[in-house]
Amino acid sequence: MSQSPIGTAKPDLDTPALCLDIEAVEANIKRMADLFRDGPVRLRPHAKTHKSPILAQMQLAAGAIGITCAKLGEAEVLAAAGIKDILIANQITGAGKIARLVNLAGYTAVMVAVDDATNVAELDTAAQAKGVRLRVLVELNIGMERCGVLPGEPALALAQRVAASPGLRLEGVMGYEGHTVFIQDPQERREKTEASVELLVDTANLLRRHGIPVKIVSSGSTGTHLITGRYPGVTEIQAGSYITMDSQYRDEVGIDFAYGLTVLASVTSVPAPDRAFIDAGLKTLTRDFGLPKVIDPPGWDLTGLSEEHGHLHRAGGAPLRTGDKVEIVPNHGCTTINLHDEYHVLRQGVLEAVWPIAARGKVS
């Protein structure tokens, strides 16, 4: 549990502390919800970013139609918090997990992605044995070359299998244009995103021409929400990172949601005037796609992360002393949050709550 009592001012928090600027988070939630409030595309935010039932409930209260997650363990945490409409945007395989999934389907309207006929048969058998009808989206590979069946005929064939499975209810199709999300040129990002999403929508229409109802056409991310989220035929998007933002989205593709997530660290060592070390290394911050950024104090750069230390270099700011606080914006919020057990929730710079990151580590 946090060492910092409610009411603590941010500079006095015990460190390293994962901090939520709750006003920025609330503004981000509202801004994205408002973009999709009136349809035709709706918002099903991805909880893999925040891993927190209370943040998911805030997203639903603001207008989201349901929640997306990546793992069965995350879905179980969300369902235990009373969330009713959950997409696991991933394949669930293995007898033990499939048993958990169909049991969960007895409590909440969970959906799961499929891209394999054997997996479809296993899910169908388990759902029938449990007496539930499991909601399914057929996942398509729309150019990322990760999971998913190919668009067109292969997707149709799998959808027909799902439609013929008494234990399953085919809700629609999903994809992920992950290969276009970080294309820096806006025009190229738009063209490649639309080319990907067109494959998804075309396949949805192919299914419909074969008499298979397709209610859901789901894709999209924070990076493409204004492209995929405006594409005719898409029904919902899965944006996640916007809730807290990170320097990766801001710096690489200019997405301008507010920074709602920072790590407060303390200087532990100043061995030279231009060099300092903080108590936040690779167990506190991640560098999946680049280094996190110092936002305070000015004039100091984060130049490296070793296991237990963050390495700072002075580019012109005032000297640092041991015990000084340093505030950092993560490069990748999703994996950074996954290192921490709790959020320090700050309003007007004062600790208002400590929230468990309830789905942290729920990778199974």
Q: Determine if 110 is a binding residue for its own copies (CB under 8 A).
A: no
Q: Does 306 bind its own copies (CB under 8 A)?
A: yes
Report d(CA 113, CA 97) in Å as an integer.
14
Q: Which of 251, 279, 274, 275 is nearest to 264 (CA)?
A: 279
**Residue 205 interacting with its own copies (CB under 8 A):** no
For the bound state, the minimum distance from the C-beta of residue 115 to its own copies, rounded and expressed in Å, comes to: 5
Is residue 331 within 8 A of residue 311, CB to CB? The reply is: no
Residues 280-299 touching its own copies, rule: CB under 8 A, are 280, 282-284, 286, 288
- C-alpha to C-alpha distance for 141 and 149, rounded to whole angstroms: 6
Of the candidate spans 189-197, 226-234, 252-260, 308-316, the one that interacts with its own copies by CB under 8 A turns out to be 308-316
Q: Which of 57, 93, 108, 125 binds its own copies (CB under 8 A)?
A: 93
145 close to 111: Cβ distance less than 8 angstroms: no
Residue 294 tokens read as: 């110092």
Task: Based on the shown chain and the rule CB under 8 A, indicate whether residue 348 belongs to the binding site for its own copies.
Answer: no
145 binds its own copies (CB under 8 A): yes
Decide if residue 132 touches its own copies (CB under 8 A).
no
By CB under 8 A, residue 321 contacts its own copies? yes
* Of 149, 159, 255, 345, the one binding its own copies by CB under 8 A: 149
SS3 108: coil
Interface residue with its own copies among 279, 296, 301, 352 (CB under 8 A) is 279
Q: Which of 216, 234, 267, 328 binds its own copies (CB under 8 A)?
A: 267
Find the part of the chain contacting its own copies (CB under 8 A) among 55-63, 242-250, 276-284, 294-302. Answer: 276-284
Among 309, 331, 343, 351, binds its own copies (CB under 8 A): 309
**Minimal distance, residue 181 CB to its own copies, in Å:** 11
To its own copies, the closest distance from the beta carbon of 62 in angstroms equals 24
- Binding its own copies (rule: CB under 8 A), the pick from 77, 270, 312, 345 is 270
Q: Which stretch binds its own copies (CB under 8 A): 10-18, 32-40, 124-132, 156-164?
A: 10-18
Beta bridge partners of residue 139, listed in sequence order: 174
**Is residue 16 close enough to count as binding its own copies by CB under 8 A?**
yes
* Binding range to its own copies, per CB under 8 A, among 19-27, 32-40, 142-150, 293-301: 142-150
For the chain, where are the E strands, in sequence order? 17-21, 42-43, 67-69, 85-88, 109-114, 134-139, 168-174, 216-219, 236-237, 261-272, 275-278, 293-296, 300-305, 310-314, 325-329, 342-347, 350-356
DSSP 262-304: EEEEEEEEEEETTEEEES-STTT---SSS--EEEESTTEEEEE
- Nearer to its own copies by Cβ, of 41 and 238: the residue is 238
The span from the first CA to the last CA of the chain, in angstroms, equals 24
Closer to its own copies by Cβ: residue 33 or 111: 111
d(CA 76, CA 96): 14
Task: Please list, in sequence order, all residues whose beta carbon lies within 8 angstroms of the beta carbon of residue 157, skipping any fewer than 6 positions away.
Answer: none
List own/partner pairs for 80-84 with CB under 8 A and 24 or more apart.
Answer: 80/53, 81/53, 81/54, 81/56, 81/57, 81/358, 82/57, 83/53, 83/56, 83/57, 83/108, 84/108, 84/109
Question: What residues make contact with its own copies under the rule CB under 8 A?
Answer: 3-4, 14-17, 48, 70-71, 90-97, 100, 115-116, 118-119, 122, 141, 145-149, 178, 266-271, 275, 277, 279-280, 282-284, 286, 288, 306-309, 311, 321-323, 334-335, 338-341, 361, 363-364
